[in-house]
Copies of this chain bind each other. A is one copy, B any other.
Amino acid sequence: MLTKLLVAKLNQFEPLAADDVAALEAVAGDVKLFDHGEDMIRQGDDPKNVHLVLDGWACRYKVLPSGERHIIAYLIPGDLCDVNVTLLDAMDHSIGALSACRVLYLPRENLIDLIGRNVRLFRALWWCTMVDEAILREWLVNIGGRRADQRVAHLICEMLLRCRAVGLTSDHSFEIPLTQQELGDTMGVSAIHMNRSLQALRADGLIATEGRRYEVPNFRKLMEFAEFDPLYLHQVRKAGKDLLDGF
């Protein structure tokens, strides 16, 4: 059941029948492994496959002429990498593994074909790409409008909720398998400034770290500091339950 996390995510939006799930599974191709730093697909390539992250973190990124790298999105287990790119002629960015990664290949043509035949899956996958885009919009605002320390705080809030949605948190802590350099590449600041920003958050008691494990003792306080509003994640509230239950 390789697509378990994905199906759980899609179900949030559009309840899928067993048939739908089977049809999706039928599209699945190989599973591949990537090491930290390896590229899954490069800028300029023709996107022939859609990738589904099973384990580990990956990212979309671009490299500027100056050589500095810019991370545009994080992809965690259950995330599809390229649905929102499949129809383009050439990749305008690369996708690389941020940690050891297990990835399922979904051949593009099969998937497009499936979407044409199955309305529920079409809507569910389309919804997925809309959420990805909503996240992108929020990142733009985050980077354009806040100080570095607020930016990281905002990122941590987002990743905590996203990781929690796929069962990757325990209690009030979770793993961010990234170096400060990589965090800096994401938030548009130098690694050194990222270091200082994280220290500021620790000093204010907003986070605590142990290696790459991040603990958030008081999520509401962190949200307030970061001006974080989870609306843009479009995560669905279970009936009678608040999105922030448990914090």
Residues of A within 8 A of B (CB): 13, 60, 62, 64-66, 68, 70, 72-73, 84-90, 92-93, 116, 119, 122-123, 126-127, 129-134, 136-141, 143-146, 187-188, 227, 231-232, 234
Contacts and interface: CB of A to CB of B under 8 A. Distances in A.
Contacts of A66: 227
Contact of A140 (B86, B88, B136, B146): B136
Q: Which 3 pairs, one residue from A and one from B, show the smallest C-beta to C-beta distance?
A: A144-B188, A92-B232, A70-B141
B127 A129 contact: no
A143 to B, nearest CB: 5
B64 A145 contact: yes
Contact of A123 (B72, B73, B87): B87
13 contacts: A68-B145, A70-B145, A72-B137, A84-B129, A87-B126, A88-B131, A90-B231, A116-B122, A140-B140, A140-B143, A143-B143, A143-B188, A144-B188
A231 B137 contact: no
Contacts of A143: 140, 143-144, 188
A145 B62 CA distance: 10
A137 to B, nearest CB: 5
Given A70-B145, A88-B234, A144-B188, 11 more contacts: A60-B137, A62-B141, A84-B133, A87-B127, A88-B130, A89-B234, A92-B138, A92-B234, A129-B129, A133-B136, A136-B137
A168 to B, nearest CB: 24
Contacts of A145: 64, 68, 70, 188
Nearest to A143: B144
Nearest to A89: B234
Contacts of A146: 64
A104 to B, nearest CB: 22
| Residue of A86, A90, A126, A140 with highest tally of chain B CB at under 10 A | A140
| Residue of A132, A146, A231 with highest tally of chain B CB at under 10 A | A231
Given A88-B130, A145-B64, A70 B116 contact: no
Nearest to A73: B137
A93 B139 CA distance: 13
Contacts of A232: 92
B234 A70 contact: no
Contact of A141 (B72, B122, B129, B137): B72
